[in-house]
Copies of this chain bind each other. A is one copy, B any other.
Amino acid sequence: MDLVKLSEKYRLELLENVIPFWMECSPDKLHGGYFTCLDRRGRVYDTDKFIWLQGRQVWMFSTFYNKIARRQEWLDMALNGAHFMQKHGRDREGAWYFSLDRKGTPLVQPYNIFSDCFASLAFGQLYEATGTDDYAVIARETFNNILKRRDNPKGKYNKLVPGSRPMKNFGLPMILCNLALEIEDLLEPDLVAELTGDLVHEVMDVFYHQETGLILENVSPDGSFADCFEGRLLNPGHAIEAMWFIMDVATRINRHDLVEKAVQIILRTLEYSWDEEFGGIYYFLDIKGHPPQQLEWDQKLWWVHLETLISLLKGYRYTGDKKCLEWFSKVHDYTWERFPDPEAGEWFGYLNRRGEVYLPLKGGKWKGCFHVPRGLFQCWKVLESIAGSEGS
């Protein structure tokens, strides 16, 4: 593999295809914020606004501004979403709604703590871009709210009978690994140190399933395996994505042992979750091989493949393990053959087991300006750094 050429491929796809698509199709020039429900050609087919995706796009354009180039149009794009979020996004307690209508009227209550995670991520990065204190305050307050809600993130919307079979989910500790590092400068160093220790332990020990070397999506509060649908669930994309968050944290706190373990988990998860018949990584699996609840279990999703590319490259970058590069090549080929849409721009998100597009949207309730551009950006940068260090 020519890593310089490859790096260039990711860079060009980001700068010449993906960013222009979102610049052109997503801003709501009348009411502010972004449209994310975009059909194959980028036409708006629904005007509701989902806080996950508003926050993610604010973060993404702030990141471009901070890390690629100080282009005013990118900052303006981030501010467009941030102003809309500031004005309409929170309830009286400061919790972020799940969704709003086009004008900003709240539709779905703050039952979902990931709205807060992406909002905090967004305003943290925007603060870095602008130095505006208000943004730092929002990022920090939102982060503190998340910590307060951590033990029962769904609050009164939690439908489990208390005490009968408590479970905890991998999503929150996983995302906090990334968020804590992203907004580190806004937090007390002691808090960051303590939290990072906790989170690394959660992700790498509590949710780690010793016997198989895989990460479980849900475990009992003490980390033990629960033999029920939720307890048996594997979400390979989540597990692999979390490993690049962990490698970033591990590098920050000088824990090379964690990097080694992360790479082993990535490789193990891929071996377990790769579809030998049609290629691609399954969306959900049951650790005992039973039928999963999720009817979409065998589908191939864009974000799973992009996050895997990032993790494999970081794994190779940090450990030099050739298996990472071999897998990268395989996942790269699969991904680039099926997800990009050179005809209409941006990438498809949803392929069936055979790798055929079954939903031609470019954005919706869950797909926005996030995994494709972040993945391209990360791969570009990591490839560049590998090429640089191998060339030197």
Which residues of A are at the interface with B, using a C-beta cutoff of 8 A? Answer: 37, 39, 45-46, 48, 97-98, 101, 105-109, 111, 156-157, 159-161, 164-165, 227-229, 288, 290-293, 295-299, 350, 352-353, 358-361, 364-365
Residue of B nearest to A289 (CB): B45
- For A352, what are the chain B residues with a Cβ–Cβ distance below 8 Å? 298, 352-353
Nearest CB in chain B: distance from A146 CB, A: 19
Q: How many copies of this kind of chain does the complex include?
A: 2
Residue of B nearest to A359 (CB): B291
Taken together as a complex, chains A and B put the C-alpha atoms of A229 and B101 apart, in Å, by 12
Taken together as a complex, chains A and B put the C-alpha atoms of A290 and B105 apart, in Å, by 23
Taken together as a complex, chains A and B put the C-alpha atoms of A364 and B290 apart, in Å, by 10
Q: A48-B228, A164-B101 are in contact. Are A353 and B358 (CB under 8 A)?
A: yes
Residue of B nearest to A290 (CB): B45
A111 and B159 form a contact (CB under 8 A): yes
- For A291, what are the chain B residues with a Cβ–Cβ distance below 8 Å? 39, 45, 359-361, 364
- For A105, what are the chain B residues with a Cβ–Cβ distance below 8 Å? 161, 164-165
Taken together as a complex, chains A and B put the C-alpha atoms of A156 and B109 apart, in Å, by 12
Nearest CB in chain B: distance from A106 CB, A: 5
Taken together as a complex, chains A and B put the C-alpha atoms of A13 and B291 apart, in Å, by 25
B107 and A293 form a contact (CB under 8 A): no
B293 and A299 form a contact (CB under 8 A): no
- For A293, what are the chain B residues with a Cβ–Cβ distance below 8 Å? 364-365
- For A229, what are the chain B residues with a Cβ–Cβ distance below 8 Å? 46, 48, 365
Residue of B nearest to A111 (CB): B159
Residue of B nearest to A109 (CB): B159
Choose one: B46, B97, B157; the contact of A228 (CB below 8 Å). B46
- For A101, what are the chain B residues with a Cβ–Cβ distance below 8 Å? 164-165
Q: What would 19 more interface pairs be, CB under 8 Å, given A109-B161, A291-B360? A: A39-B290, A46-B227, A46-B229, A48-B228, A107-B161, A107-B164, A107-B165, A108-B160, A111-B159, A156-B156, A157-B157, A229-B365, A291-B359, A292-B359, A293-B364, A293-B365, A295-B299, A295-B350, A352-B353
A160 and B295 form a contact (CB under 8 A): no
Taken together as a complex, chains A and B put the C-alpha atoms of A161 and B48 apart, in Å, by 14
Nearest CB in chain B: distance from A171 CB, A: 18
- For A359, what are the chain B residues with a Cβ–Cβ distance below 8 Å? 291-292, 295, 297
- For A98, what are the chain B residues with a Cβ–Cβ distance below 8 Å? 159
A97 and B290 form a contact (CB under 8 A): no
- For A108, what are the chain B residues with a Cβ–Cβ distance below 8 Å? 159-161
Name, among A106, A228, A291, A298, the residue most crowded by chain B CB atoms within 10 Å (CB to CB). Answer: A291
- For A358, what are the chain B residues with a Cβ–Cβ distance below 8 Å? 297-298, 353
- For A159, what are the chain B residues with a Cβ–Cβ distance below 8 Å? 98, 108-109, 111, 157
- 19 CB contacts below 8 A, A to B, read A37-B290, A45-B288, A46-B228, A101-B165, A105-B161, A106-B161, A107-B160, A109-B160, A109-B161, A157-B159, A291-B360, A291-B364, A293-B365, A295-B350, A295-B359, A297-B358, A298-B352, A298-B358, A352-B352
